[in-house]
Amino acid sequence: MTERWRVLKSRFAVDCPWLRVREDHVRLPNGVELESFYVVEGREWASVVAITEDRQVVLVEQYRHGIATVTLELPAGMIDDGETALDAARRELREETGYEAEDWHALSVVAPEPNKSTLRAHFFVARGARPVGAPRPESVEQIEVRLLGESDLLEAVERGRVVHGVQVGAILLAARKGFLGA
């Protein structure tokens, strides 16, 4: 049976509102000790595969500094204190794209990097998405709304145009579950 690691000592190397990096001194079950094993802590986030009545998927295009490129992604954002994952997904869809939907389905909850992070991502599918107003992104977000047909989205995934790994998984799972067709 696989055993847990034992935390001997812990401290925060980075501690700010958006990110906490914990440095753990751990002992593995075989006795090996790692004096500096870093774990990223942060708020959980929610994301949505939003599909319009005419089978277009609502996406956002934005610059991602970590990889220094513009990416094509699902609308997504942090879950605020006291907010459910579904409420966060609804809010992010409205804020980032100006779209809303009434028909929502839970898709999955995943751990994007379970070895080095405590984060969890909650994915939903929203059908019947429709524009209800202008997007209202946060001041640090520069977002362009993009619509892609379902088959074009799956092709964008295959061609590496969608690079956010867990979002790729959510898109493919949505297709597998019959929410997206080819």
Answer yes or no: is pLDDT of 93 > 70: yes
State residue 20 phi and psi, 5-degree precision.
-130, 130
The dihedral sign for the CA sequence 62, 65, 70, 72 = negative
What mean pLDDT do residues 133-144 have?
81
What mean pLDDT do residues 48-68 have?
94
Answer yes or no: is pLDDT of 89 > 60: yes
Instruction: Report percent pLDDT > 70 for the chain.
Output: 99
Residues in the chain: 182
- Predicted confidence (pLDDT) per residue in 167-182, tens digit: 999 999 999 999 997 5
Check residue 182 and give its pLDDT.
Answer: 54
In the structure, what pLDDT confidence band is assigned to residue 31 with cuts at 50, 70 and 90?
A: very high
Please give the Cα distance from 87 to 45 (Å, whole number): 11
In the structure, what pLDDT confidence band is assigned to residue 166 with cuts at 50, 70 and 90?
A: very high
Burial of 163 (0-12, 13-18, 19+ CB in 10 A): middle
Q: In the chain, at which residue ranges do the beta strands (DSSP E only) sit?
A: 6-16, 19-27, 33-41, 45-52, 56-64, 69-73, 76-78, 99-100, 103-110, 121-131, 143-149
What mean pLDDT do residues 38-49 have?
94
Check residue 128 and give its pLDDT.
Answer: 97
In the structure, what pLDDT confidence band is assigned to residue 143 with cuts at 50, 70 and 90?
A: confident
Q: Distances in Å between the alpha carbon of 57 and those of 4, 87, 151, 174? A: 41, 20, 10, 12
- How much is the pTM? 0.90
Q: What angle do CA 153, 114, 27 make, to 5 degrees?
A: 165
Please give the Cα distance from 154 to 165 (Å, whole number): 14
